[in-house]
């Protein structure tokens, strides 16, 4: 048995092999190179017994006629790093023979003889592999493979254009270092799905579920230590981020781009929550990279607001049509802001890839960073999450109560000024909400979400007000009256909601 440890990236562009070879020469790596064509057929039963057991079965044939069957069993995928046990056995023909595998690899529920009789081919992968066996400065060996071809089922096909970096021997650090080098020369994004997973998706039409940051909670549980909870939560943030990027590449919308921004914000919030339990240097490097990406995406919120104002089915379009020049100005501004081609370059670029690689390294290091500055003398990686989560939740609520106390009447600008504070409190709930009863959590969280979305709408109305005040033309009075009335009504609703929310008993105290 071998356990693969590999980084996988989907790659864009032409002449990839030449670019890689040139980079390796420039960096003075020692390497050998070979090219081969590989044909693979993946098998399962009609009721997908192998897939349900998280097992992949393929038969591979190369250009020399060598045939090999491979079983890959359950492993882990974090941020494009794949680790799976792999079993390989030579065959005489292209029909799998499960009896040749050691019986110990099979889960108890699998009856091998029955499984053998039910096997049927599902899909094929055919690709040309250019492989470089690289010796690094520390004598670690890495196989870098560039695969180009396609996945085919009976009626559908999907392109393969990806690179894999597999650690043959030596240190994982060498794997990450080589990946960083590649990021300087290639347009990449982490590949979180294996060829087998993509093939199953092709055959059965599987699509990933939409992620909503407002309702997303991280899968933490009360028995975790602080360090375990960070590793689990941060890994989930990275997985959600990469899933959203994958969805955006396939379906470029402002909504998905806003979710990507929100996902980055949740990861950054985790760094703030756990700052006393992490390596300060590593956390700060990631935080700054997230800040840079969010700065690049800062226009998304404005573009989304303009879309809400101008869409034909929106709540505001009929009112804005009172002024044709205003409508034209808003549409033109949205067009100037929205550049999805530039976003795709960003999402495949060095800056964004380095961020994800550093996030992955922090998760894998499990480094508690013995730099805790709080008063608890026993703070270490074994401190229980439940010893700290309630206080973290309470701190956010106390900050809100101090800034917008229940007995204070707020203006629309007050709500906008305190929006970030409310978002931070909601993000803390995203991190720790799964530790508590879901109904009690949502009863408490619901009014705060209403306030959050209400302030979103208020900011949209203020954007419209800015354009009205900045226009050189005289705006229709009924549009101005409508806008003032709309802001006033929304403010009344927010005040009612805020007072109700501040009088609720927190779910973490029940």
pLDDT digits 0-9 by tens, 86-112: 899 999 999 999 999 999 999 888 999
Alpha helices for 338-432 (secondary structure H):
340-347, 350-365, 389-403, 412-417, 419-432
Which tokens is 164 given? 């894999």
* Confidence band for 502, pLDDT divided at 50, 70 and 90: very high
Residue reference for tokens 């690899």: 105
Task: Give 159-218 pLDDT, tens digit per residue.
Answer: 999 999 999 999 999 999 999 999 999 999 999 888 999 999 999 887 666 777 667 899
Task: Give 7-50 pLDDT, tens digit per residue.
Answer: 999 999 999 999 999 999 999 999 999 999 999 999 999 999 99
Return the CATH fold of 2-204: Hypothetical Protein Pfu-838710-001 (2.40.320)
Residue 472 pLDDT more than 70? Answer: no
Query: What pLDDT was estimated at residue 79?
Result: 81
Residue 334 pLDDT more than 90? Answer: no
Query: What pLDDT was estimated at residue 63?
Result: 87
| Distance from C-alpha of 214 to C-alpha of 212, rounded to nearest angstrom | 5
Which tokens is 149 given? 């071809």
Q: Is the alpha carbon torsion for 6, 11, 17, 18 positive or negative?
A: negative
Percent of the chain whose pLDDT exceeds 90: 74
| Distance from C-alpha of 259 to C-alpha of 23, rounded to nearest angstrom | 35
Residue reference for tokens 């998304």: 300
Percent of the chain whose pLDDT exceeds 70: 94
Q: Which has the higher per-residue pLDDT, 147 or 329?
A: 147
Task: Give 39-92 pLDDT, tens digit per residue.
Answer: 999 999 999 999 999 999 999 999 888 999 999 987 788 888 888 888 999 999
Task: Give 393-449 pLDDT, tens digit per residue.
Answer: 999 999 999 999 999 999 999 999 999 999 999 999 999 999 999 999 999 999 999
Residue 336 pLDDT more than 60? Answer: yes
Query: What pLDDT was estimated at residue 318?
Result: 76
Closest CA to 125 of 145, 147, 143, 144: 147
| Distance from C-alpha of 413 to C-alpha of 411, rounded to nearest angstrom | 5
Phi, psi of 62 (to 5 degrees): -100, 180
| Distance from C-alpha of 141 to C-alpha of 422, rounded to nearest angstrom | 49
Which tokens is 504 given? 């609720």
Query: What pLDDT was estimated at residue 377?
Result: 39
CA-to-CA separations, 178 to 173, 174, 288, 445, in angstroms, rounded: 9, 6, 23, 44
Query: What pLDDT was estimated at residue 81?
Result: 86
| Distance from C-alpha of 441 to C-alpha of 276, rounded to nearest angstrom | 26
Q: What is the 3-state secondary structure (H, E, C) of 220-278?
A: CCCCCEHHHHHHHHHHHHHHHHHHHHHHHHHCCCHHHHHHHHHHHHHHHHHHHHCHHHC
Query: What pLDDT was estimated at residue 279?
Result: 93
Query: What pLDDT was estimated at residue 346?
Result: 97
- Neighbouring C-beta atoms of residue 413, cutoff 10 Å: 10
* Confidence band for 3, pLDDT divided at 50, 70 and 90: low
Residue 146 pLDDT more than 70? Answer: yes
* Confidence band for 311, pLDDT divided at 50, 70 and 90: confident
Task: Give 210-257 pLDDT, tens digit per residue.
Answer: 777 667 899 999 999 999 999 999 999 999 999 999 999 999 999 999
Closest CA to 204 of 317, 122, 104: 122
Query: What pLDDT was estimated at residue 5?
Result: 80
Domain boundaries, the chain: 2-204, 218-377, 388-510
Strand partners, 248: none
**Non-local CB neighbours of 401 within 8 Å, separated by 6+ positions:** 502
Query: What pLDDT was estimated at residue 439?
Result: 95
21 contacts 132 by C-beta, under 8 angstroms: yes
* Confidence band for 376, pLDDT divided at 50, 70 and 90: very low
């Amino acid at each position: 048995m071998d356990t693969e440890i590999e980084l996988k990236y989907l790659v864009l562009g032409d002449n990839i092999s030449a670019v890689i070879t040139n980079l390796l020469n420039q960096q003075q790596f020692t390497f050998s190179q070979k090219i081969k064509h590989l044909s693979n057929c993946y098998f399962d039963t009609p009721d997908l017994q192998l897939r349900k057991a998280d097992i992949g079965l393929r038969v591979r044939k190369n250009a020399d006629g060598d045939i090999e069957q491979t079983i890959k069993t359950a492993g882990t995928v974090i941020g494009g790093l794949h680790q799976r046990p792999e079993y390989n056995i030579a065959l005489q023909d292209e029909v799998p023979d499960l009896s040749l595998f050691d019986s110990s690899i099979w889960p108890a529920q699998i009856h091998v003889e029955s499984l053998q009789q039910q096997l049927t081919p599902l899909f094929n992968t055919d690709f040309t592999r250019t492989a470089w066996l690289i010796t690094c400065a520390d004598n670690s060996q890495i196989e870098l493979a560039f695969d180009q071809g396609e996945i085919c089922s009976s009626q559908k096909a999907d392109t393969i254009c990806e690179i894999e970096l597999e650690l043959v021997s030596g240190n994982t650090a060498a794997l990450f270092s080589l990946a960083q080098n590649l990021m300087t020369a290639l347009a990449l994004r982490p590949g979180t799905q294996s060829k087998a997973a993509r093939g199953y998706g092709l055959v059965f039409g599987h699509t990933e579920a939409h992620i909503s940051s407002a309702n997303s909670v991280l899968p933490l549980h009360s028995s975790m230590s602080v360090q375990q909870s960070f590793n689990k939560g941060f890994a989930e943030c990275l997985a959600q981020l990469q899933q959203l990027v994958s969805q955006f590449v396939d379906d470029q919308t402002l909504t998905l781009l806003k979710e990507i921004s929100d996902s980055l914000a949740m990861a950054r919030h985790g760094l703030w929550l756990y700052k006393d339990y992490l390596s300060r240097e590593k956390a700060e490097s990631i935080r700054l990279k997230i800040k840079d990406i969010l700065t690049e995406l800062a226009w998304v919120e404005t573009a989304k607001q303009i879309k809400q104002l101008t869409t034909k089915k929106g709540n505001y379009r009929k009112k804005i049509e009172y002024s044709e020049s205003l409508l034209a100005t808003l549409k033109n501004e949205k067009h100037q802001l929205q550049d999805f081609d530039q976003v795709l370059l960003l999402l495949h670029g060095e800056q964004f890839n380095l961020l994800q690689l550093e996030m992955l390294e922090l998760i894998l290091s499990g480094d508690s960073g013995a730099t805790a500055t709080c008063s608890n003398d026993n703070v270490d990686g074994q401190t229980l999450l439940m010893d700290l989560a309630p206080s973290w939740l309470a701190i956010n609520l106390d900050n809100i109560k101090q800034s917008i106390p229940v007995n204070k009447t707020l203006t629309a600008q007050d709500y906008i000024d305190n929006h970030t504070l409310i978002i931070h409190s909601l993000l803390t709930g995203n991190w720790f909400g799964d530790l508590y009863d879901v109904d009690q959590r949502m009863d408490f969280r619901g009014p705060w979400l209403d306030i959050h979305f209400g302030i979103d709408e208020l900011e949209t109305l203020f954007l419209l007000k800015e354009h009205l005040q900045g226009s050189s033309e005289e705006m229709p009075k009924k549009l101005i009256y409508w806008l003032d009335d709309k802001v006033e009504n929304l403010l009344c609703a927010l005040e009612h909601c805020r007072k109700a929310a501040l009088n609720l008993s927190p779910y973490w105290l029940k």
